[in-house]
Amino acid sequence: MESAVLSVQSARDEVLRHCQKLAGNQGIETVSILESFQRVIAETVTLDRDHPPFARSMRDGYAVQAEDVGGAPVSLRCIGEVRAGDTPQVPLKSGEALQIMTGAPVPEGANAVVMVEHTDRQTDNQIQVLKSVRAGENVAPQGSERQAGDVLLRPGRRISTLEAAILATAGKADVRVYRRPVVGVLATGDELVGPESVPRAGQIRNSNSFSLYGQVLKSGGIPLLLETAKDTLPDLRRQIRRGLECDVLLVSGGVSMGKYDLVEPVFEELGVVVHFESVSMRPGKPTVFATWKDRWVFGLPGNPLSTFVAFELFVNPLLRTFQGLPPADLPVVKGRLQSEVVERSGRSAFLPAHVTCGSGTLEISPVSWRGSADVFGAAEANGLLIVPSEAARLERGEIVEVLLFEELRYAKEARL
């Protein structure tokens, strides 16, 4: 078993090295457009026909020959109307106009549409055009947006609102997307009770299962909450075995140096291979990364913020890989520090901070909190200020880096 303390970078590299083994072997499934939101496309989507599929009127008005109305005002013979969904039957000749609605096909012979606002209907079959139009004006030619066979979406693109519109337009009622990994969440600790309970002296309520549940969901996984395990070998064995049926198992608590931190001995018994068990970071030092067959296992330190940070740094890249996204890019932004920060741990620190848009730069304000158990303070933050291990102090006004929480990520994620 590896007992060295890894730097955050080396630990992430180790996770990413394993992610590479997964890349290319992710599961794929087919879902409907409505089921596809936030999923990642696993196929190349092409257009089945030109778009627009016919020369389309962009206005309500009259289809005309632009040459006829150069000397507007001019009168034209109105030969009927064409509505969206219709197909005009006869070509338009010089001296004629055809009333047309937005989205209707422009008839053969016509090369422009005069907006209804620029016409005057004189009789049923006579209109006056008050303003000239250029050839092509208010007409979207067939295939002017995209043509049949054009690639619209490539694998790796996350489906959001306009992607859904593209799928529908392309006739992709069903789309192939990467499978979402099932992520077991196992809280451990004799002291834990559920949020519905009134804790006895010495007990606390389990909060990690709930924050992890949310983190898994936001990262695109399917969270599965397992029954909390006591700090006993039989209970841990049973629950960890259960958890190993999931694609990924997150165990919270029980991985520090305490006498009843028994998670790692159980990993060893069950043949779970540990790749690292200690990372030089604050919070989150006793973070364990392991594999068992084709399953992935993380032991996350029990303190709520330690669990949270370790998830963002190490679990999120794996869940991204499962979904066909590049794992490597951490959503980091730079901004100006608003108050001095002193960090004595000598480890890389990830401190709750609030990022706001200042004038021209992002402004980063550390949030007051009382350490890795304090979710209340941390919940005021929208990111984590990164204090490099070699920096003992960051000055006010310095340009620093912040790891954004998931909410802000999509804004930063580059379109593929």
User: Using CB under 6 A as the criterion, which residues of the chain lie in contact with ligand AMP when the complex forms?
Assistant: 187, 189, 191-192, 204, 206-209, 252-256, 258, 261, 301-304
Q: How far is the CB of 251 from ligand AMP (least distance, A)?
A: 10
Per-residue burial over 17-56, b if 16 or more Cβ lie within 10 Å, else e, is ebbeebeeebeeeeeebeebeebbbbeebebebbbbebbb
Choose from ligand AMP, Mg ion, none: what does 309 bind? Cβ within 5-8 Å by kind. none
Q: How far is the CB of 348 from ligand AMP (least distance, A)?
A: 19
CB 299 to ligand AMP: min, Å = 9
Q: How far is the CB of 177 from ligand AMP (least distance, A)?
A: 32
Contacted by 211, from ligand AMP, Mg ion, none: CB < 5 to 8 Å by type: none
Q: Nearest residue to ligand AMP, using CB?
A: 302
**Residue 192 binds which of ligand AMP, Mg ion, none (CB < 5-8 A, kind-dependent):** ligand AMP
Nearest approach, Cβ of residue 290 and Mg ion (Å): 18
Please give the structure tokens belonging to residue 219: 């990262």
- Smaller CB distance to ligand AMP: residue 206 or 215? 206
AA identity, residue 104 = A
Angle between helices 233-243 and 263-270 (to 10 degrees): 60
Provide the sign of the torsion angle of the four alpha carbons 249, 254, 260, 266, taken in this order: positive
Q: Which C-beta is closer to Mg ion: that of 127 or that of 305?
A: 305
Shortest separation between residue 297's beta carbon and Mg ion, angstroms = 17
Residue placing its CB nearer to ligand AMP in the complex, 159 or 305: 305
Do the beta carbons of residue 179 and residue 28 sit within 8 Å? yes
Instruction: Answer yes or no: are the C-beta atoms of 247 and 295 closer than 8 Å.
Output: yes
Q: Please give the structure tokens belonging to residue 331.
A: 């959503």
The smaller minimum CB distance to Mg ion, of residues 189 and 221, is found at 189
Residues 126, 79: Cα–Cα separation, whole Å: 9
| 221 touches, from ligand AMP, Mg ion, none (C-beta below 5 to 8 Å by class) | none
Measured from the CB of residue 279, what is the shortest distance to Mg ion in angstroms?
18
Nearest-approach distance from CB 352 to ligand AMP, in angstroms: 17
* Residue 206 binding target from Mg ion, ligand AMP, none, CB below 5 to 8 Å by type: ligand AMP
Q: 19 or 216: whose CB is closer to ligand AMP? A: 216
Contacts of 24 (CB under 8 A, 6+ apart): none
Which positions ≥6 away from 267 have C-beta within 8 Å? 240, 274, 288, 290, 297, 299
What does 52 interact with, of ligand AMP, Mg ion, none (CB < 5 to 8 A by kind)? none
CB closer to Mg ion, 145 vs 191 = 191
Q: Which of ligand AMP, Mg ion, none sits in contact with 204, Cβ below 5 to 8 A by type?
A: ligand AMP
Nearer to ligand AMP, 192 or 351 (CB): 192
- 304's contact among Mg ion, ligand AMP, none, with CB below 5 to 8 A by partner kind, is ligand AMP
Question: What are the distances in angstroms from CA 239 to CA 251, 259, 262?
Answer: 10, 19, 13
Residue 286: what are its φ and ψ, rounded to 5°? Answer: -80, 65
Summarize as ranges the residues that interact with Mg ion (CB under 5 A).
189, 253-254, 302
CB of 286 to ligand AMP, least distance (A): 7
Q: What are the beta bridge partners of residue 163?
A: none
Partner touching 252 among Mg ion, ligand AMP, none, CB below 5 to 8 Å by kind: ligand AMP
User: Taking Cα atoms as reference points, which of 404, 181, 198, 212 lies closest to residue 302?
Assistant: 212
Query: What residue spans of 219-341 are helical by DSSP H?
Result: 233-243, 263-270, 304-310, 316-322
In which order are the strands placed within the sheet that holds 96-100? Answer: 112-115, 61-64, 96-100, 74-82, 126-129, 119-123
